[in-house]
Amino acid sequence: MLRITELARKTGASVDEIHYLEKKGFIKSVKSRLTEREVRQFQDTDARKIQVIIKYRRQGFTWDMAFQKAQQEHNKPTLFDRS
């Protein structure tokens, strides 16, 4: 599990972009209590999804289109898959 700042560092996305992706339902966080405050934690698998979405955003696609393209890329078999 990664905290939001760790996820931002790992993916190149800003914290605001990650908040937006979460708000749109593209990713989901798990909230946990850390002493005095609540923190969001994300699955390691969210990092790759965010990297691909951000790649398409930087190419000028809308958020929705970037998410769709990331989904297509995720579902597309590659030469290295043995399924």
Per-domain residue ranges of the chain: 2-74
pLDDT at position 55 = 93
pTM, entire model: 0.78
**Dihedral of the CA atoms 58, 63, 66, 67 (nearest 10)?**
140
Determine the Cα–Cα distance for residues 33 and 14; give it in Å rounded to an integer.
Answer: 23
Pick the CATH number of 2-74 from 3.20.20.80, 3.30.413.10, 1.10.1660.10, 3.40.50.300: 1.10.1660.10
pLDDT at 17 exceeding the cut of 90? yes
Please enumerate in sequence order all residues whose Cβ is within 8 A of that of 46, keeping only pairs 6 or more positions apart, or say none. Answer: 2, 7, 27
